[in-house]
Chains A and B, each alone.
Chain A
Amino acid sequence: MNLRANFHKKLGDFTLDVRLEAGEEITSILGASGCGKSMTLKCIAGIEKPDRGHIELNGRVLFDSEQGIDLPPQRRGVGYLFQNYALFPNMTVRKNILCGAHGSGSRAQREEKLRQMLHLFRLEGLEDHRPSQLSGGQQQRTALARIMISEPELLLLDEPFSALDAHLRDALKIEVKELLRGYGKTVLMVTHSRDEAYNMSDRVGVMNDGTLLAVRPVKELFADPGTVQAAVITGCKNIANAKWAGPHEALVPEWGITLQTAQELRRDLTAVGIRAHYFRPGGTQNAFPVVFAGEMEEPFETIQQFRYVGQAEGSANIWWRLAKEKRPQQFPATIGIAPVNVLPLYEAQPADAVFPHGTESEEGR
């Protein structure tokens, strides 16, 4: 693994606890605003200092509290794309990009690299524009070009698309993903958007109140989030406490039902989740009588809200999301769910230690 980070930092009312490995791929940290995602990147870049821990990149130690190593950001070889891109407002596109190559090689070499970057990031003709004259997408490409010309070993992306208009976002996601693939280095991105995490990354770790949960392949995480926190952040709308009632049976008191699951359950089951897309009207598996409770329309989908007959008072309505053209004329009397789509959820466990040798002694102190 190219990046290994294992550190702690006290932050107001919670502690940042990061154990992370990332290879030559795009890894995302997915979490709500204010959960410590950006702080994690800042610690890796050397802008903020962890209280203790160890960070290494391609075998180089960037930070180690025990050895007293704390390289300044200038010497870490880490590129950082800020949420607002942080282009220097007093410099043109050309000068901004050249800042990334400052003091490297001859003038001619820098000019040549600049030319390549302008071409790669489709900024030709904009050399003499100032950041304020650029569109959001152009600003982002300028910021990326400025980072790429400095040839970092690791690229950190902090909410890279949040400053863009929604209609630009999808096009740019594809474009940036292609650029990053071609770049072939380690990329670590933080985002609060499950769509961005899903579109862009190979692996995703969920961060909850400063604690980074296990980093897993993106499809696996969305198919089986495993914890309530991961289920919520990956967009699972229906979550209720549950108890183990058998190897494939989960008792959900809040909904007054017992669900069959495809996965074998552990006895420490705490909750189950059902994604809003997966309900089947009139299905035979896990089918229970329901009553209609409301509807919310979206541009292309509709959310049908219902309650199980016998559902506890005060519990939230169940969300069933389907394409508008599939909207039932008559609301079904029973709604089923395939056992494979009942997601068992357990207590959150922090990510496994990535430094088996160092972690024990650190935990002991």
Chain B
Amino acid sequence: MDWYPLYNSLRIAAVSCVLVFFLGIFFAYYASKLPRLIKGVLDVILTLPMVLPPTVCGYFLLLIFGIRRPVGAFLAQHGIRFVMTWYGGILAASVVAFPLMYRTARGAFESFDETLAYAGQTLGLSNTYIFWRIRMPACRQGILAGTVLAFARALGEYGATSMLIGYTPGRTATISTTVYQLWRINDEAGAMFWVLVNLAISTVVLLAVNMLETRQKRMR
């Protein structure tokens, strides 16, 4: 039994989730403070990967990071290749999952009662302390929801991933690309196995989130 697709999917989803967590929060926080016009434009750009077909996202990624393109060629000279490598999957999954984190976190930040931050400032608390100890905990429902959505999306990413890193067993295969390949070669049992694996992971993640939420509610 080759467990590589599970291992690869999990590491891609985990690393993209961490990346998207910080990037999403960073952009969400600063976007919520921008003037309306700039915010509108930035919002469209940052949300676009969510509404574009993932294959189109993958196509854009190839346009930028393809090894014959300027950026891709430059990176390749320094030994970084996003095309046909497992960590290219991180790039693809992050781009597609980012808007989910960004939008949910932004919604949470916008509904934050700003007087709490003002109160912290007048009490002499540093802005960093206020951000991590007051704003983030107050927004944790939205941020948690965004993180889970981003993780689930990254785990299930197919379109952009298959465009950018293709399917090489033991090298770039993920659960979703494996399901497609096995189905294509009529290995229905194999496809079903990976479908069940995917279902199991998703169920565990959602259950964990629900339990976490009810525990927090009880704490309040």
Q: Could you list which residues of chain A lie within 8 angstroms of chain B, going by C-beta atoms?
A: 42, 45-47, 72-76, 78-80, 82, 84, 86, 88-90, 99-100, 102-103, 130, 132, 146-147, 150, 152
Instruction: Provide the residues of chain A in CB contact with B120, threshold 8 Å.
Output: 88, 99
User: Which of B123, B125, B220 meets A89, CB within 8 Å?
Assistant: B220
Of residues 85 through 119 on chain B, the ones whose CB sits less than 8 Å from some CB of chain A are 113, 115-116, 118-119
Task: State how many angstroms separate the Cβ of B113 from the closest Cβ of chain A.
Answer: 7
Closest to A150 in B: B123
Check if B134 sits within 8 Å of A80, measured CB to CB. Answer: no
Quick one: which of B51-107 are within 8 Å of A by CB?
A: none
In the complex, what distance in Å separates the CA atom of A88 from the CA atom of B140?
13
B10 at the interface (CB under 8 A from A): no
Within the assembled complex, what's the spacing in Å between the Cα atoms of A76 and B122? 8
A102-B129, A130-B220, A132-B220 are contacts. A73–B137 as well, Cβ < 8 Å?
no
Size range of the chain B interface in the assembly: 10 to 19
Contact A86 B137 (CB under 8 A): no
B126/A73 in contact, CB under 8 A: no
Q: What are 22 of the A-B contact pairs (CB < 8 Å)?
A: A47-B121, A47-B122, A73-B121, A73-B122, A74-B124, A74-B125, A74-B126, A75-B124, A79-B123, A80-B119, A80-B122, A86-B116, A86-B118, A86-B119, A88-B138, A89-B116, A100-B124, A102-B123, A103-B124, A130-B220, A132-B220, A150-B123
A358 to B118, CA, bound (A): 30
Shortest Cβ distance from residue B137 to the other chain A in the assembled complex, whole angstroms: 4
In the complex the two chains form, is A90's CB within 8 Å of B137's CB? yes
- Once A82-B119, A89-B220 are accepted as A-B contacts, the answer to whether A102 and B138 lie under 8 Å apart by CB is no
B124 and A150 form a contact (CB under 8 A):
yes
* Residues from chain B with Cβ under 8 Å of A86 in the complex: 113, 115-116, 118-119
Q: When the two chains form their complex, are residues A90 and B138 in contact, meaning their CB atoms are under 8 A apart?
A: yes
| Distance between Cα atoms of A89 and B220 in the complex (Å) | 8
Q: A102-B123, A132-B220 are in contact. Are A80 and B138 (CB under 8 A)?
A: no
**Centre residue among B115, B124, B137, B220 by max chain A CB count within 10 A:** B124
Q: Tell me which residues across on chain A come within 8 A of B134, comparing CB atoms.
A: 88, 90
Known pairs A45-B122, A72-B121, A102-B125; list 6 more (Cβ under 8 Å).
A73-B121, A74-B126, A102-B123, A103-B124, A147-B122, A150-B123
Cβ-neighbour of A88 out of B116, B118, B122, B126 (below 8 A):
B116
Q: In the assembly, what is the distance between CA of A42 and CA of B115, in Å?
A: 11
The distance from the CB of B144 to the nearest CB of chain A, in whole angstroms, is 13
Residues of chain B within 8 A (CB-CB) of A47 are 118, 121-122
**Nearest CB in chain A to that of B140: its residue:** A90
Complex interface: chain A residues within 8 A of B126 (CB): 74
Q: How far is the CB of B197 from chain A (nearest CB, A)?
A: 37
Distance A128 CA – B33 CA, assembled complex (angstroms): 34
In the docked arrangement, what's the CA distance between A84 and B114, Å?
12
Closest B residue by C-beta to A97? B123
The CA of A356 and the CA of B113, in the complex, are separated in Å by 40
CB distance from B70 to the nearest CB of A (A): 44
Chain B residues near A100 (CB-CB < 8 A): 123-124
CB distance from B109 to the nearest CB of A (A): 15
* Given A90-B134, A132-B220, A78-B122 contact (CB < 8 Å): yes
Q: How far is the CA of A102 from the CA of B137 in the complex (A)?
A: 18
What 1/0 mask marks residues of chain B from 119 to 157 whose CB sits below 8 Å from any chain A CB? 111111110010000100110000000000000000000
Q: Which of B115, B122, B138 contacts A84 (CB 8 A)?
A: B115
Instruction: Give the CA-CA distance A82 to B121 in the complex, in Å.
Output: 13
**Interface contact B220-A102, CB-CB below 8 Å:** no
Which residues from chain B contact A146 at a C-beta distance below 8 Å? 123
Min CB distance, B135 to chain A, in Å?
10
Tell me, in angstroms, the Cα distance from A149 to B80 when the chains sit together: 54
Assess the A82–B118 pair: CB atoms within 8 A: yes
Q: In the complex, which residue of chain B has the Cβ closest to the Cβ of A156?
A: B122
Residue numbers in B under 8 Å from A72 (CB-CB): 121
Contacts of B129 on A, CB cut-off 8 Å?
102
A304 to B124 alpha-carbon distance, docked (Å):
54
| CB of A247, distance to nearest CB on chain B (Å) | 51
* CB-defined contacts of A42 to chain B, threshold 8 Å: 118
Nearest chain A residue, comparing its CB with the CB of B219? A130
Nearest-CB residue, chain A, relative to B216: A90
Q: In the complex, which residues of chain B have a beta carbon less than 8 angstroms from the beta carbon of A147?
A: 122-123
Kindly list the 9 A-B residue pairs having the minimum CB-CB distance in the complex, ordered from nearest.
A86-B119, A73-B121, A90-B137, A80-B122, A86-B115, A47-B118, A74-B124, A100-B123, A73-B122
A79 contacts B122, C-beta separation under 8 Å: yes
What residues of A have a CB within 8 angstroms of the CB of B118 in the complex? Answer: 42, 45, 47, 73, 80, 82, 86
Complex Cα gap A319–B138 (Å): 50
| Nearest-Cβ distance from residue B15 to partner chain A, whole angstroms | 29
- Chain B residues with CB under 8 A of A103: 124
| Residues in chain B near residue A150, CB distance under 8 A | 123-124
Do residues B116 and A102 form an inter-chain contact, with CB atoms below 8 A? no
State the Cβ distance, A63 to closest chain B Cβ, in Å. Answer: 14
Inter-chain contacts of B113 with A (CB < 8 A): 84, 86
Find chain B residues with CB under 8 A from A89 CB: 116, 138, 220
In the complex, what residue of chain B is closest to A146 when comparing beta carbons? Answer: B123
